[in-house]
Amino acid sequence: MRQWFFFLCCVLPLLLLAQNQVNLELWYKNHIVKSVTTTHKVVALTFDDGPHYKTTPKILDVLKEKQVRATFFILGVNAKNSPQILARELADGHELGNHGYSHKHLTEMTKENVEQEMSRTEEIIMALAPKPVIFRPPGGFFDKKVLETAEEKGYTTVLWTIDPHDWARPPMQKVVNEVLDNIKPGSIILMHDGQYPLPTPEAIVYVIDNLRQQGYEFVTVSELLQYSEFEKVRHSYNIYNW
């Protein structure tokens, strides 16, 4: 009798808690893109936190010279006074994604405030372009509330495969090596353009040249999603690597 009491009071709650955690992790996996499973040598170069009036034009110059299209996750507070940079990103064929407005951790906000963060940046982008369809939470911080809000607003939540921490201003070669050492087909590369100075404009020159020598092609995130080779499960997209 005591054994059953111990099981019901101590063991069973722990088992249920563990199962709930597993279920939540599985739910997260089906609602977040970190990479695409594909045999095609395609990767997506992405930039967070911009635009910045010094850094972003330097990056755009490199991308134009190399004829690479990338995805910029726009931070509203930085974009509100830089419509000309957003216009250039669009004119150069790049994709714009939503990165929220203030870069505050959305997990610490109410659902209403999370929606406002997305909507304010959405309005800035839509003054120049159609509504964005991809969203990246600031800092990569998310919970079920954040993911559900993004989905309700028509977004696919996108994180990344490789983070060279360029925002911390490491030596340029360290940024390059981190990308080249971890690249694989379907990777999403995280970079930043919201600060100055950054090693990023110089680093992407070497990243692009080296990956092209390896046979890689650069595509936008939305294009990358179409390369998945697994059964489609949501938003016409596929199951992605975690």
Out of 48, 49, 166, 193, which one is annotated catalytic?
Answer: 48
Contact between 107 and 138 under an 8 Å Cβ cutoff? The reply is no
Question: Apex CA 68: angle with CA 76 and CA 196, to 5°?
Answer: 45
Out of 52, 94, 192, 193, which one is annotated catalytic?
Answer: 192
Q: Which two tokens stand for residue 14?
A: 């722990």
143 is catalytic: no
**CA–CA separation, 169 vs 66, rounded Å?**
23
**CA–CA separation, 32 vs 220, rounded Å?**
17
48 is catalytic: yes
Contact between 50 and 56 under an 8 Å Cβ cutoff? The reply is yes
Residues assigned a catalytic role:
48, 192
